[in-house]
Amino acid sequence: MIQLETRNHRTLEFAQEGYLALSAESFLTDRKAGGLTASTVEFYAIRLRQFAAYCDAQAVTQVQEITPDYLRRYLLLLSETHNPGGVHAAFRTLRAFFRWLDFEEVMPPEWKNPMSKVKAPKVPQELLEPVSLTDAAKLIESCKQGDNAERDKAIFLFLLDTGARASELRNVNLEDVDLGAGAVIIRQGKGRKPRTVFIGRKTRRALRAYLRTRRDNAPALFVTIFGDRLTYTGLREILRRRAKDAGLTKKPTLHSFRRAFALNMLRNGADIFTLQRLMGHSDLTVLRRYLNQTDQDTQAVHSRASPVDNTYR
């Protein structure tokens, strides 16, 4: 039985022996050697394990036995228990896996990539809701009392002012922050691509107030009361607790701060290409989903730019 170790030191077991399982292991080794993050490798490993279990149930152990119809049936079966995003994640993993097999030229010459004939499942484009500035203000206001009040206030302002992902915020170290210039180096962005983000006067003031409360020598910018780097679960708990204190009926997510950053930067006049660099997107595809403007936004633009109102008096 083949076992694949993940970043959490758990093992993902491929139930069947045979060339399919060996190929999956080689594929993951190649992803690791290619410098992909541990979370991305784990993403592939989990979904390959799901596929391997399905193949094992069908007594399929060889890559050559997998046909386009076989893959379509697998994705259809998956759609009965997974949301469209989960099915699309499985599709992307299999597409990457079979493309790698094709590129490596490890298959017989007559073999054809079965994924080339499988269409990507459709994923509904859901509106990505940002945290409202009103709710963000209530969260910040709730940080006037209680343990770690200065830290929690600085976290909310940092997220809203930089558009950083929660994972990126966690990994920021004190040495990455230039409070004088208001610049912060994100060393571990998505895909391990570093970038620089910026914080304004109010966020810098909040960070200084928080740092004056620190009594530890930890390298991380945001830490627990014990001086340990905050975990993602810890960040979510801070948001949950402060949302309750603020009396919010709809609890925002950590990622909703990133959406609010994008939308409000656009409303305040930022150009989309600068915004793309600040958010660390390789292209504009994902960014467009953050910028689904409201009817009020489009109405305001029309009021300013109406060809009739600007021509006829």
Domain CATH for 28: 1.10.150.130
Q: What is the pLDDT of residues 95-125, one digit of tens each?
A: 999 999 999 887 888 899 999 999 999 877 6
State the pLDDT confidence band at 298, using cuts at 50, 70 and 90: low
| Residue 304 maps to a domain | no
| Residue 43 maps to a domain | yes
| Residue 48 maps to a domain | yes
53 with 143, same domain: the answer is: no
22 with 153, same domain: the answer is: no
CATH of residue 152: 1.10.443.10
- The more confident residue out of 285 and 276 is 276
Domain holding 91, by residue range, is: 2-117
| Residue 254 maps to a domain | yes
pTM over 0.85: no
| Residue 125 maps to a domain | no
Structurally, the chain folds into a number of domains equal to 2
| Residue 108 maps to a domain | yes
253 with 219, same domain: the answer is: yes
290 with 160, same domain: the answer is: yes
231 with 167, same domain: the answer is: yes
Q: From residue 92, give the alpha-carbon distance in Å to each of 27, 42, 45, 87, 207.
A: 14, 14, 12, 9, 40
Q: What is the pLDDT of residues 12-38, one digit of tens each?
A: 444 333 478 888 999 999 999 988 888
100 with 144, same domain: the answer is: no
| Residue 303 maps to a domain | no
Of the candidates 219, 179, 220, 197, the one whose C-alpha atom is nearest the C-alpha of residue 281 is 197
